Chain A
Amino acid sequence: MLLDGTALGLQFGLLGVGLTLVYGLGGILNLAYGQMAVMGAMVVTLTMRAGLPAGWAVAVGLLTVGALGLLLDATIMRPVYRQQGEHRVLLSLLLTLGVGIVIDGLLMWRYPIGSLGLDIGGAAVEIFGVRMRTGTLLASVISVTTGGLMLAFLRMSTLGKAIRSVIQDEEGSRLVGINPAAVRRLIFILSGILAGLVAVTRSMTSPVGVNAGIDFTILALIVAVVGGLGSISGAFVAGILLGMVSTVSAFYIGQYITTIVLLAAAAATILLRPTGLLGRNT
C-alpha cells in the first residue's frame, strides 16, 4: 500500500507541477487543465485504435496536448496577459473554465463511453522482495524520471532558470534580456505535456474516462495549493504526501470521502501554512 501510495503520489506531484508552473505567470489558474489531460488520453486511445503501437500513440497524445497548450497561449491567454493582478486571475479563471467545458462537451459528445486503459496492469512483478503490479511500477518509473528531469531542467539549465526568473520577477527578467512571451509559451507547452503524461500513467493502473477532466483539475489544484501555489518543488513533495494520504484513506474510508479528505488538507494548508509545505520557493 505504501508503494501504491508513492506511485500515486508521484503522479499527483507531476500534475501539481504542471498547474503551478502556469500559476507562476502572475496567478493564472488553468481550469481546463484536467480536460487537457483527458484529451491527451483520448488521443492516445484513438491513435492506438488506429493501429499505432502504444509508445507512438503516447508520443502523439503528448504532442497534441503540448500543442493545445501552445494554442491556449496564443489565443485566449492573450487578453489575460494584458491584465494585471486580480483581473488577470479572474479573467484566466473564466476563460479557462469555458475552454474546459468546451473540451468536456466535445469529448462526451463524440466519445460518450470512451476511456483510456493502457493494459499492462495485470501481471505482478517482484522487486526487492515486494510484489508490485507492472502498471504501477511503470507509472512510477515514468513519473520519477519525468519529475527528476523537470526539476533538474528548472534548477540547473539556463532556460530553466529563465523560466523561474519570469515567475519570480517578470520585470527583472525582461531587464536581463529574457523574453517573457517566449517563456509563457514554453510553460504552457510543458504544462500541457505534464497533464497528458499524468493521464497516461494513471491509465496504466485504472482506466481514465472521458469525464475525468474535472477530477484531474481539482486534484491538481489541491496538490498545488498544499505545495504552495507557484512552488515547483513544493508541488512535487505535496503530491507524494497526498498520494499516500489518498491511498490510505481510500483503503480505510472509501473513495468518495477521500476527495473530501484531500480538500480538507488543502483548506488546512491555506489556514495554517499559506505559503505551502516548503514555504515560498520557485
Chain B
Amino acid sequence: MKKQIVTLNINGEDMDLRIAPMDVLADVLRKEAGLTGTKKGCGQGDCGACTVIIDGKAVLSCLTLAIACQGKKITTIEGIADQKTGEMNPIQKAFLNHGAVQCGFCTPGMIMSSYNLLTRNPQPTRADIRRALSGNLCRCTGYLLIFEAVEACAAEGGVL
C-alpha cells in the first residue's frame, strides 16, 4: 500500500509525515516523526508503554492507526516539557526526584497516564492513582515509588 503525506498535529506542531494506512501511531511517532520518547513494549495493548494523549484522552499508540489521527491533537512525552526552555514538566521532575525510574522503559507511558490523571483530578487519592495507572506495567519499581511521585507532584502544585 502506498505511503501518502498526512499532516498530524503532534505536540502543538503540524508535521507532514509519510504514512501508509496500516501504520500504527507508535511506529510513526518513533520512526517518521523522530519522537523516540514513546516506547513500544508489547505492541498488543497490554503494557501501556506506548501511552500518548489524543484530544485529552490517554490512549495506546500501538493500537491506533496513525492515519486515523488526522485533525486530532497528539501529545507525547516530549510535548509535556516546556517547549521553549526544554524544562521538564513537574511530573517528570517528580519521577526523577522520587526514584520512580529504574530501567525507564515504562516511564514515558507512566508519566503520560499520570499527567492525564492530574490534569483531570489534581488531588487524586492513592486509589485514584492506582486505578489511573492500572493500564501501565512496570517490571522494575514495584509501583510504590511511582505512586509516591504522583502524590508528591499533586501536593507540590500539579502538572500545569
Does B associate with A? no
Residues of A within 8 A of B (CB): none
